[in-house]
Structure 1
Amino acid sequence: MSAPTLSLAGRRALVTGAATGIGRATARLFAQAGASVVVNHWRQPAEAAALVQELQALGAQAVAIEADVSDTASVQALVAQAHAALGGLDVLVNNAGVIQEKPFLETTDADWDRLIHTDLGSVFRVCRAVLPGMVAQGSGAIVNIASDLGILGRERYAPYCAAKAGAIGLTRSLAREFAPAIRVNAIAPGPVNTAMVSLAHMSAEWVEKELAIPQHRLGEPEEIAATALFLASDLSRFYCGQVLGPNGGSVMP
């Protein structure tokens, strides 16, 4: 068996929610590692186009595809277009997601459905659409972006915590079902410095708790992307159903 490396040369990757934040950093790092990249976005054409230009300047094949990953038909079209553009997929990073801070007793059915459909339902839908191709080729790596709050729980974030805990459970189920040919793992980041998790629009209680972690800071998208690269590469070929936690010490299993 050859020595594993971080290289993704010749690999074809789909990153959902890749126009900004963790997804953007992941797409950039994958391209630097030699992968061809599908930049999925939803209603962010300018940001996605700028990223594609950046990746192409690095010498990578890259294409932007708009799709609502909470919708089955949109996901099916996304994967079909990704296969047409790249000839198949070797790596999937399920990164798209939303967050909401709201007292549980004020949480509406619409709030619940939006978070569950996007943060958990998208993982289900995109995995279901991508896995047949990976099964047919006999290889693949899937990385699902969860959250430390899916492990810890947090008041005022019930739908988000439930969705991310569900993503961890789904990861483990798929890992058992599709191993050894396809590796399915998850990342449960701590608080990350992105537009979605901005100190400016979170409550004082949220900020106090998040910055109380041992590292006393937010993580950076590139730090999460590095973990995604590891899990997508052959360096992690003995990882199966694992949840890695670049979280600044918020969770210490």
Structure 2
Amino acid sequence: MTDNGMPAGNGAGQGGRDRPLDGQVALVTGSVRRIGRATALAFARAGAAVVINARSSRDEAEATAREVEALGVPAMVHLADVTDEQAVAAMVEAVTGRFGRLDILVNNAAIRREAALTEMSLADWREIMSVILEGAFLCSRAAIPHMARRNYGRIINIGGVSAHTGAIGRAHVAAAKAGLEGFTRALAVEFAPSGITANCVAPGRIGGKRSKTSGHGVSLPGGAGPLVGQEGKPADVAEVIMTLCGPAGGFVTGQTFHVNGGLYLA
């Protein structure tokens, strides 16, 4: 054991079948709601300590942390704006200072805006790019040295179906999510020698408060929705993320995984 109460090791194969991520530490950005929260809980059930991140929603972050701890693993709350270079660096240092390691990073933080392209300001465009794309860059850049030191790491970027289909009023979001896929492939190539995998998970229509804008403008011929006949749940996406970060995901890198019930067929 380490002096912070976490099992020692390089991160691979630490846990049993029921808790395959025992001893690992996962940072999920934007993890107080929907896919981020579901992912944090999936990691906790798999045995990982989880860092809950939000920009300012401390009450929700603390509530999610309590849910994580109820599953028998440590939780840490760290408020940070992923577009702030110094704040991101401080967050990663705080994580490694407490746990001595960082094994998994899920770049989930995002904001949704809708505007016709001809009415979209440059500030609107840059705001989306900053949170989705630059946030993933800053968090990955800060986390990778700690992963490389142990020759082990998992990075998951959360894309979206609009990057493949386009979407009405969301050119900035579609462009940022498409950029994440290129960024994912670049990470996979550059850091495979360091034992780090990088993959992108692209959700489609995920039910809940945002279901009306999730996959907005995306439909099958005849106006049909997902082939499975229903919207997805945040947990559906979280389980794919968890699989990619577990032992079964070790031979997978540089890929985009569509979780959309057949809304879009790659």
TM-score by length of 1: 0.92
Counterpart of 2:190 in structure 1 is 177
1:215 shift after superposition: 2.6
2: distance between equivalents of 1:215 and 1:104? 32
Q: Pairwise mapping of residues 98-117 of structure 1 onto structure 2 (< 5 A)?
A: 98-117=111-130
Aligned-residue offset at 1:81: 1.0
* Paired position in structure 2 for 1:130: 143
Aligned counterparts of 1:211 and 1:171: Cα–Cα separation in 2:
30
SS of 1:188's equivalent? strand
Contact 2:205/2:211 (CA < 8 Å) preserved in 1?
no
Structure 2 stretches of 5 or more lacking a match? 1-11
Deviations, residues 66-111 of structure 1 (Å, cap 9, x unaligned): 0000111111111111111221100111111011121110100111
Q: Distance in 1 between matches of 2:177 and 2:96?
A: 28
1:53 is aligned to 66
TM-score of the aligned structures, taking structure 2 as reference length: 0.88
- Tell me how far apart the structure 2 counterparts of residues 211 and 54 of structure 1 sit (CA, whole Å): 36
Distance in 2 (CA, whole Å) between partners of 1:135 and 1:198 is 38
Offset from partner CA, 1:113-140 (integer Å, 9 cap, x none): 1100011111111001100111111111
Query: SS in structure 2 opposite 1:218?
Result: coil
What does residue 189 of structure 1 align with? Answer: 203
Two-structure CA RMSD over aligned residues (Å)? 2.1
Q: CA deviation at 1:219?
A: 1.1
Judged with a 3 Å threshold, the aligned counterparts in structure 2 of structure 1 residues 216 and 106 are, in CA distance, closer, same or farther, namely farther
1: CA distance, partners of 2:224 / 2:257: 20
Q: What is the CA deviation profile of residues 19-57 of structure 1, one whole-angstrom value per residue up to 9, with x for unaligned ones?
A: 111000000110010000100111111111011111112
How many percent identity over aligned positions? 38
Partner SS for 2:259: coil
- Equivalent pairs counted in the alignment come to 248
Could you report, residue by residue, the CA deviation over 1:163-198 in whole angstroms, capped at 9, with x for unpaired residues? Answer: 000000000011011014101111011021243x24
Equivalent residues in 2 for 1:19-168 (5 A)? Answer: 19-168=32-181
Once residues 249 and 56 of structure 2 are traced to their aligned partners in structure 1, the CA distance between those partners, rounded to angstroms, is 33
- Counterpart for residue 227 of structure 2: 214
Distance of aligned partners of 1:105 and 1:184 in 2 relative to their CA distance in 1, 3 Å threshold: same
Find the aligned partners of 1:82 and 1:134 in 2 and give their Cα distance. Answer: 12
Task: Please list, as runs of the form range in 1=range in 2, the aligned pairs for 1:204-243 lying within 5 A after superposition.
Answer: 206=217, 212-243=225-256
Give the alignment partner of residue 261 of structure 2, picking from 236, 248, 251. Answer: 248
CA pair 49-211 structure 1, distance change in 2 beyond 3 A: farther
Structure 1: segments with no counterpart, 5+ residues? none
What stretches of structure 1 move > 3 A for 4+ residues in a row? 205-211
8 A Cα contact 2:41 2:68, kept in partner: yes
Distance 2:233 2:86 in 1: 33
Alpha-carbon contact 1:211-1:218 (below 8 Å) kept:
no
Distance 1:88 1:133 in 2: 7
User: Are 1:17 and 1:23, in contact at CA under 8 Å, matched by a contact in 2?
Assistant: yes
What is the distance in 2 between the residues matched to 1:163 and 1:173?
Answer: 15
SS of 1:229's equivalent?
helix
